[in-house]
Structures are given as structure tokens and as C-alpha cells.
Structure 1
Amino acid sequence: MTKDMTQGKPLKLILAFSIPLLIGNIFQQFYNMVDSIIVGQFIGEEALAAVGSTGSMVFLVIGFCNGIASGFGVMISQAFGAGDKKRLRNYVAVALMLSAAVMVVLTAVTMVTTEPLLRLMRTPDNIMEGASSYLMMIYGGLGATLYYNVLSCILRGVGDSRTPLYFLIVSSLLNVVLDLLFVITFHLGVAGAGLATVIAQGVSAVLCLVYMFKKFPMLRLEKSDFRCRWYTVVQMFSVGLPMALQFSITAVGVMILQSAINDFGSTVVASYTAASKVENLSTQIMITLGAAMATYCGQNMGAGRFDRVKEGVRQSYMIVLGAVAVAVFISAVCGESIVRWFISNPSEEVLGYATTYLHTISWYFVFLAFLFLYRNVLQGLGNGILPMLCGVAEMVVRTIIAFTLTGQWGYMAICMASPLAWIAACIPLWLCYQIQIRDPQRWFLRKRVYPGKN
């Protein structure tokens, strides 16, 4: 069922759209955490470190896929908000074709560069083999990941945030079963965990595709919808590529930071891996709100309702404050207990490193919450360049800390890297929104999808 977000009370619409997204994101985290929990509990600390050391490299590529998908989703939401069904179908068809091209290029590049990048990041020798085999599985199944994200963003672009949730739940449960089967029964090690993830995501992608064509008459594509004009390709990539690069540039900063973490040894890598999983779980409301605001702003921009954009952002501040409170509670209060999920009988050293990280970043979650909000609002309005540049700022901050401060601050530099990066990105995004929303006709009107334009 589609949802028109250009009519009705903004806060109610945003909350109604966000709840299925939040449940889906929690299952997505559960999906990701299962690999680490099963690997850590049934294989050991080194195996957990192997999977954890790949996190930034996985984020580099999966983040690019998410960015491309989100960019396509923004264009689709604008066409839907404008009521232009012909352009909507064309955007969906072009998104599917462009995704195939992106999949081929990404798979080829990642399969060739996996081991050199692991060595460049100074991955410890005792976890190198496990890290490489896990990445090969994940990268080999990029098509499943990319198409699930693209199809989910298409459905969300027309206001359906529930259906991707249902399929994600099915996929998450399947991932658990396959993880247990491949790791415990078949003894495939960390490669088995990666294979389980890929198969589960492939199932989600197929379910989304079948449902989309069966239940949404407006999305049933015809041969004419696959006319791929250069204008449309440029338009799609002009939004999708900056969003993809924003994710990837941020990931490069995380990779550089990961290389500094690797120098501390596999114990710190395992601690940071577990703590990062807790951090990701803590911030799901923030991430969900951002995704909801991108769709909300995209639809209202398509309809030319900038007054509703401004009101929606203002009302979302209440959700932001609640999200920060939840994140602090999970990280600072429950963090140590959750860390124990990942490692059987963790040492005091492992727990100490993990809780120090979680307690430190908790003080700065308010900056992260507003970072997610303003970044997605601007992207929903078609401004992908500034969020990408702010991703560069995050990368620069993490790079400076990794290369200059770890020698002086030690592990505390690792703990402060992300908070300082959040601040560096949040402030310019906030300033840009404040400036541009005062004169939306100047900044955003020319980027609208006009009904009937071919």
C-alpha cells in the first residue's frame, strides 16, 4: 500500500512511516549481529576479530550500494509526490538497469582488491585468512545486497515501509538458520557466516521484486518504460552517486581508523568489533528517522510543499531527543551486557576496552542524531553534494586521528575519532539547511520533478 506524505499531520506521518522502518532496521542489525555472535561463541575470539576487521571494508561497498539505492529512491519519491506515473515507471526501470551495471563493476573490483586492501590496513596475520574468506563471500553476493536495497527503496519511495520489513524478518530468520547450519553443522567457519548472509539477502530481493510487480499496478513495467535516455541516467546518478560516495568516503575514514585499531592487536580488534555492534544497535532510531525524512522531504518537494518540509523537520526534533536518550541508555547502561553476547567468557581486558569506547561516544550522540536528520533532509530535497563533502570531513578527521593522535592518546584516540568526525560533519549540514530552507524556491525548485516532463 502506498502512502502519500504530502497530506496530513507531518509528525503523525513521519512516525507511522518510521515504525516499520525501525523494526526493519533492528532486524537488520540482528541480521548483522548473528554472524558475529555465532562466530564469536562457536569459533572463538580470533574468528570474531576476523569478521570485525572487515567491517569497514564491508561498509565501504555496502554503503555505496545503500547510497545508490537511496538516491534512486529519492527520485522515485519525487515522481510519486508529483503524481507523474509515467516518469515513476521509467525511473523504476532505469534504476533496475543501472543497478545491474553497478553490480558488475563493484563485484569485479572488490574481488580483485580484497587481499591487497586487507594488507594495506595492516590486518593481523592470525586473522588474515578468516577476514579474506568472509569478504570473498560477501562481495561475491553483492548482486543480492544491491537489488534488495534498490527494491526496498523503490517501495519506500511510494510510501510502503511495511513490506520491506516483512521480507527482512523472513530473511533475518533464514540467516540465523543458515548461520547455525553452515558454521556449526558443516564447519564452514567465517566463510559460512558470509554465505548465509548472501543467501538470506537474495531471498529478500526476490520477494521484494515479486511483490512489487504483483501488488503495485503503477509499478508494472512495460517495454517502453525501459527507454534509457541520457537525461534520465544523468538525473538518477546526479542524486545517487553523491549519496553513494558520501557513504563510501565515510567508510574510507573508518578503514583508515580500522588500520590504526589493527595495530593494537586482535584483542582490541575484538573489543572494538563488539562495541561497534552495540553502537549500531543504539543508533537505530536516529538512522530510521533519517530514512523517513528523506522520503517525506522527497515527496513534498515533488509536490512543491516546502512549508510541509520545514514543519516536518521542526516536529522531528522531539523524535531526535528521544532517540538520543535511548542510544545513551543502550550504550552506557546496557553496553557491557550486550558485549557479552558476542564473546563467550570475555576477559576483563576485552570488556574494559569495549565499555570505555561505549561510555565515551555516548556523550556525543546528540551530534550524530542531528547529522542523520539534516543529511537525509538535504538528500531528500536533492542536495547530495554537501552531504558528500561532509563525508569527506568525517574521513579527514578520522585520518588525522589515526595518523597523529593514537601515538599520544593511545586507545582514547580511537574512542574520540567518531565523535569528533560527527561534530565536523553535523555543523555545516545544519548551517546549510538553515540557509537553504529560508529560500527554497532558489535552492530546490529547479531540482523538482515536474509532472509531465519527458
Structure 2
Amino acid sequence: MVITMKKYNMLTDSPGKSLFYFALPMILGNLFQQFYSTVDSIIVGQFVGEDALAAVGASYSLTTVFIMIAIGGGIGASVITSQYLGAELYSRMKTSVYTALISFLTVSITLGVFGLLFSSKILSALNTPENILADAILYLDIYFVGLPFLFMYNILSSIFNALGNSRTPLYLLIFSSLLNIVMDLLLVGGFGFGISGAAVATVFAQGLSAVISFCILLRSLKSYGEEEKGKERAEKETSDLQKSLLFDAGMLGNMIKVAIPSMLQQSIVSVGMLLVQSVVNGFGSSVLAGYTAGTRIESVCIVPMIASGNAVSTFTAQNLGAGNADRVKKGYLAAVRMVAGFAVVICLALTLFHEGIIRSFLESGSDAAAFETGNAYLSFIAFFFVFIGLKAITDGVLRGSGDVVVFTLANLVNLGIRVTIAFTMASHWGVQAVWIAVPMGWSVNYLISFVRYLTGKWSKKKLIKVEN
């Protein structure tokens, strides 16, 4: 029996179904990416050794910054593109796509050159251990050579999502991940190229996927405007299709308005994790091991919540572009039900199976404190995932409308709460202060964004101009 997934239209079909089936490929893709990252690390560790794995890890925090820039840029591009798509202004939609690709390709080349020139100085400044410094520099230099491909891979995925097509990025992600694993086994395990082989595998796999994605995108863009020729607005657009610009500075400015807060939001998450990690480190390696196991499970559990928020962002942008703010509200209510359902399933799974899950991460001879910490963390946090779900979809409405000031403020408050409570209360509550702060940050973030949502001002923040 073959199960096919119908493609739902975010402008006309049931809000709940269109959001769910749009978010589903993103959920699967993110879960698959986490699986691939784990396998990639295992290959490097097993075939090259502990130092090589450490060298890749030393580069991770830095490469994550560049990926966040790409993700933030992609979000900025996707909001503008979605709004033009919803308004059926296809030539301008194409211009927004071309503007995003040209702009962020230029940014990625600039960052790549900068990285190549200063990679050794950056790693030295990060106190990279001397015994792995050479390998870390080699890995990072290859990464920077391929940065334009890695960058565009993420931008193109965001553009496909903006067009309501979340399945193509999923298929390309699966393709690139499997190709990366095969090339890791071939270059690292087979030919013994070591850490350079791992870097080349990543660059080649995502680079090829970026090229394929670009070709598919160009083909997809040709269809817009043709199928709606019978409509008055589409007729106007069709007569202007040949005048689509390759670059528009005004569109780029609007993209940046959304992109920069999105980059900050992504960075806030990383900064918060780093700061809180320093608190956990003070309780010893056993507690740290249990906490690490718990946070890895948490990162999997929030995948459907983050994907739902991204789906709401695209849904909001398309429907505001079409001038239908009431439909956004219906979609938001459907999203509330969706994340609540996810939260119930996650809560039941963690409550029933948290001990077995934690044991799968730790050796049988591990210290009892590690098991106790991991179990306590999952047992507590299991009941609060609904808050990050509500936060994600409410932020999604604000982000999709371009109402980014309150969205940014709410995330800053989230960071402030988590860090402040972790640092001030750890001496009184123990390591539990770290995870008690997590749902507090999520819930306050949600409440701030929700109050803004209730005002309805987000519906008047549309970033595009529709001429009648």
C-alpha cells in the first residue's frame, strides 16, 4: 500500500490540514538531519580518532554562526517572497527570489574569503587545543572554500518553503545526507583522507544539492503567472513578466528587516546554551553527562514545534499578501491545536520511557548522578513543551507579517530569564535551576508575543505594496 501526500494550498484549503502537511516534511527533514549529524560524527570518531572528532567539534561553534546567518537570510527572503506569492504578483515574487540569491551569494563569498584569511587566528582566539589546531584549521579552510554552496543550500530551502513547497527541501536533504555519509565512508574510511575527507564530503554533498535545488527552482518559477492568465491581476502581471528585475534594493531592505532579528533570535539560542552550559559545568562531569543526554532528547522533541512555527510564518506571509488577515487567525487557532497535540504525545512518551531513553545515551557503568540528572531533567521538562510550541507559532505570525520588534524583544527576555535564573538560583536549587528556567523563558516569551498578536497590529505590518 502506497501512501501519497496531497499538496494543500495555504490560501484556499483547510488551514489545519495545509499547515500540518506543510510542516510534516520539515519535521521529517530536521529529524533526519539530526540522525545524519550523529552518524557523521561516529564515522570521524571511529575511523580517524578522538582528536579528529575534537577538531571538527572545535570548528562547530564557528560554522554554526555562518549557518545561522544563512537561516536568518533565508527567513527574510521567504517572508517577502511568500507575501508576493499570496498577492499573485508573480514578477515581483521572482524579483524577490533573484534579489535574495544574488545578495546572499555575495555575502557568502565575502564571508568565505574572510574565513580563509583569518581561520587560524579565529581558532587560536577560541583557545583551540594545540594538538588539534592544525586539523581544525584544515577542516575550516575547506569549509570556507565551499561556504557559498553551503550558504545557498539553506537559502534555496527557505525559498522553496516560501513557495509552499516543503517537500523538495526534504528530498534534497535526504539525498545530500545519504551522499555525505557514503562519501564519508569512502573518503575517510576507504581512502584514509582523514579530516579533510570529512570536510570535502560535506561540501560536495551540499554543493551538489544546492546546484540541483537551483535548477529545480528555476524550472518552478517559470510556472508562476501562466496558470492564472485568466484573472485580471494575473493578466497585468503576465504582460510585465519580461520586466522582472534581477535585483531590487528596496526588496533587499525589507528582507534585511526580517533577516537581522531572525539571525539575532538564532544567535540568542546559541548564546543562552553556552552561558547555561557554564553553570552546569560547575556541578561536575557526571551531572554534565546526564544533562547533555537530556538536552539532546529535548532538541529532538522541539523539532515539531519549531517546524510548526516556520509553517505558520509562511502561512501568515502568503495570506497577508492575499489580504486575508482573518484566515491567518483561523490558521493560528489550528496551529494551537496542532502543537497541543504534539505536546501531549511528547509528554506521554517522555513520562513513560525517560529512563530507557537516558540509559541509551550512557554506559552501564556511568555514575549514578548522570542517570539521576538526565531522568530528572526529562521528567520535569516533559510537561512544558506546549509552551515552546505556542511561542513558536505566535512568533511565526509576527515574523511572517514582518512585525519583528516585539518578536526580537520577546526572545531577548527569554534569554535573560534563562541565564539569570540559572546563575542566581543554582547555588540554592542546585542544577535543577537550569531546567526550571527553561519553561519560564518559553512561557514569558509566548506571553509577550501573544499580547502583541491580540492587538492585531501585526496585520498592518505587511512588507509589500500591492497596487490596485
Matched, 1:7 2:15: no
CA distance in 1: counterparts of 2:46 and 2:372, whole angstroms:
19
Alpha-carbon distance change, 52 to 403 in structure 1, aligned in 2, over 3 angstroms: farther
Verify the 8 A CA contact 1:282 1:331 in the aligned structure 2.
no
Deviations 1:38-86 (A, max 9, x none): 4566677887777667665554432232121012111101000000011
The aligned counterpart of 2:377 is 357
Q: How does 1:265-304 map to 2 (within 5 A)?
A: 271-304=290-323
CA distance in 2: counterparts of 1:356 and 1:49, whole angstroms:
29
**Match for residue 326 of structure 1 among 341, 345, 348:** 345
Q: How does 1:421-432 map to 2 (within 5 A)?
A: 421-432=441-452
Q: How does 1:74-89 map to 2 (within 5 A)?
A: 74-89=79-94
AA partner of residue 28 (structure 1): Q
The aligned counterpart of 1:253 is 272
Matched, 1:146 2:151: yes
Following TM superposition, by how much is the alpha carbon of 1:279 offset from its aligned partner in structure 2, in angstroms? 1.7
The aligned counterpart of 2:460 is 445
Q: Greater Rg, structure 1 or structure 2?
A: 2
Alpha-carbon distance change, 199 to 357 in structure 1, aligned in 2, over 3 angstroms: farther
CA distance in 1: counterparts of 2:145 and 2:280, whole angstroms:
26
The aligned counterpart of 1:209 is 214
The aligned counterpart of 2:229 is none
CA distance in 2: counterparts of 1:130 and 1:120, whole angstroms:
16
Matched, 1:394 2:422: no
The aligned counterpart of 1:32 is 37
CA distance in 2: counterparts of 1:78 and 1:7, whole angstroms:
15
Aligned residues: 448
Matched, 1:307 2:326: yes
CA distance in 2: counterparts of 1:418 and 1:39, whole angstroms:
33
Deviations 1:173-220 (A, max 9, x none): 122223334554455666655554343322321221111113431479
Alpha-carbon distance change, 446 to 292 in structure 1, aligned in 2, over 3 angstroms: closer
The aligned counterpart of 2:170 is 165
Verify the 8 A CA contact 1:53 1:273 in the aligned structure 2.
no
The aligned counterpart of 2:431 is 411
The aligned counterpart of 2:106 is 101
Deviations 1:77-134 (A, max 9, x none): 1000000011011101100011113213444566677777778878888988887776
Once the two structures are overlaid, the 10-residue window that deviates more, 284-293 or 176-185, is 176-185
Once the two structures are overlaid, the 10-residue window that deviates more, 375-384 or 262-271, is 262-271
Verify the 8 A CA contact 2:80 2:463 in the aligned structure 1.
no
| Greater length-normalized contact order (CA 8 Å, ≥ 6 residues apart) | 1
Matched, 1:92 2:97: yes
RMSD (CA atoms): 3.7
Verify the 8 A CA contact 2:156 2:214 in the aligned structure 1.
yes
AA partner of residue 143 (structure 1): P
AA partner of residue 167 (structure 1): L
The aligned counterpart of 1:379 is 399
Verify the 8 A CA contact 1:283 1:327 in the aligned structure 2.
no
Q: How does 1:12-91 map to 2 (within 5 A)?
A: 12-38=17-43, 57-91=62-96
Secondary structure (helix, strand or coil) at the match of 1:447 reads coil
Following TM superposition, by how much is the alpha carbon of 1:387 offset from its aligned partner in structure 2, in angstroms? 1.9
Alpha-carbon distance change, 41 to 269 in structure 1, aligned in 2, over 3 angstroms: farther
CA distance in 2: counterparts of 1:264 and 1:55, whole angstroms:
24
Alpha-carbon distance change, 347 to 354 in structure 1, aligned in 2, over 3 angstroms: same
Following TM superposition, by how much is the alpha carbon of 1:159 offset from its aligned partner in structure 2, in angstroms? 1.4
CA distance in 1: counterparts of 2:459 and 2:177, whole angstroms:
39
CA distance in 1: counterparts of 2:217 and 2:443, whole angstroms:
39
Verify the 8 A CA contact 2:55 2:133 in the aligned structure 1.
yes
CA distance in 2: counterparts of 1:130 and 1:328, whole angstroms:
42
Secondary structure (helix, strand or coil) at the match of 1:228 reads coil
- Percent identity, please: 36
CA distance in 2: counterparts of 1:386 and 1:66, whole angstroms:
20
CA distance in 1: counterparts of 2:282 and 2:30, whole angstroms:
32
Once the two structures are overlaid, the 10-residue window that deviates more, 102-111 or 150-159, is 102-111
The aligned counterpart of 2:261 is 242
Matched, 1:366 2:364: no
CA distance in 1: counterparts of 2:179 and 2:261, whole angstroms:
33
CA distance in 2: counterparts of 1:408 and 1:121, whole angstroms:
32
AA partner of residue 418 (structure 1): V
CA distance in 2: counterparts of 1:78 and 1:320, whole angstroms:
24
Verify the 8 A CA contact 1:92 1:219 in the aligned structure 2.
no
User: TM-score, structure 2 length as denominator?
Assistant: 0.81
User: TM-score, structure 1 length as denominator?
Assistant: 0.83
Alpha-carbon distance change, 89 to 226 in structure 1, aligned in 2, over 3 angstroms: same
Verify the 8 A CA contact 1:398 1:418 in the aligned structure 2.
yes
